[in-house]
Structure 1
Amino acid sequence: MPTLVILMILAGAAFGFWSAGRAAAERAEVVGRNACEAAGVQWLDQTVHVTAIRLCRGGDGWLGWERTFRFDYSRDGEDRHVGRLVLRGDRLVNFIGPVSRLETPPPT
């Protein structure tokens, strides 16, 4: 009987970890898509890929997961660039990716 209880606890923890990972991936997709749209670039592959996960302490002092995601984008449809974003829970803490192009002033 105790073995069944332990298995149920482990299964519940695994499901919770998987569910939180899916929620973070969906949040990362929204952030990546919106950043590409704002910068006027093409978001490639329509997906993000988790590249790292680590345990970290949040601003409230509780332990949580920090997930790093990677996505690809293109400026002209022929090139390919890599963007990265880091989520701590569902909060964006770091972003490297497309920025909107600023027009350069004419030479003087």
Structure 2
Amino acid sequence: MSELSDLLLLVLLLAVIGLWLKLSRAREQATQEGRQQCQQHGLQLLDESVGLRGMRMRRVHGRWLLERCYTFEVSIDGDDREPGRLWMIGQTLTGVSLPTIQSHLPGLSAEHLPPTPADNVVPLRPRLHKDSRLH
């Protein structure tokens, strides 16, 4: 029995190592995609790395595939840190979310931006108790 348990432990260890190597290669691919997206959109990829945020099953053309979400930080003008995300299935980029640069464009003053509300609090009416409705 000891040989069988040793064999199962070895197989489990090899499976964990294989999964770790596969996820490492996927992370390298995601880092490369993040770099490419940042270069294409005029952003700077900070820390030159991405981190796995989560995984989910996604249905594509009738098949369920594992989609990974990676997060990273970018800089628009070199003085800020903004979040970015990308989603990948296998080695294919399926989605990307980057910060908008509208407020960081040179020459774009506050008068050209859409007005922001003065207050984002919505006043609520006082809640009536059951007893007060009857009177």
Contact 1:53–1:67, Cα closer than 8 Å, also in 2: yes
Give the SS at the match of 1:66.
strand
Q: Which has the higher strand share?
A: 1
Greater relative contact order (Cα < 8 A, sep 6+): 1
Name the CA distance, whole Å, in 2 between partners of 1:49 and 1:57. 23
TM-score (normalizing by structure 2): 0.64
1:30 equivalent among 32, 35, 38: 32
Contact 2:53–2:71, Cα closer than 8 Å, also in 1: yes
Larger of the two Rg values belongs to structure: 2
Q: CA-atom RMSD, angstroms?
A: 2.4
Structure 2: runs of 5 or more not aligned: 103-135
Structure 1: runs of 5 or more not aligned: 102-108
Q: Which has the higher helix share?
A: 2
Contact 1:49–1:69, Cα closer than 8 Å, also in 2: yes
Name the CA distance, whole Å, in 2 between partners of 1:60 and 1:15. 31
Taking only the aligned residue pairs, the percentage that are identical comes to: 32
Count of equivalent residues = 100
Name the CA distance, whole Å, in 2 between partners of 1:57 and 1:12. 29
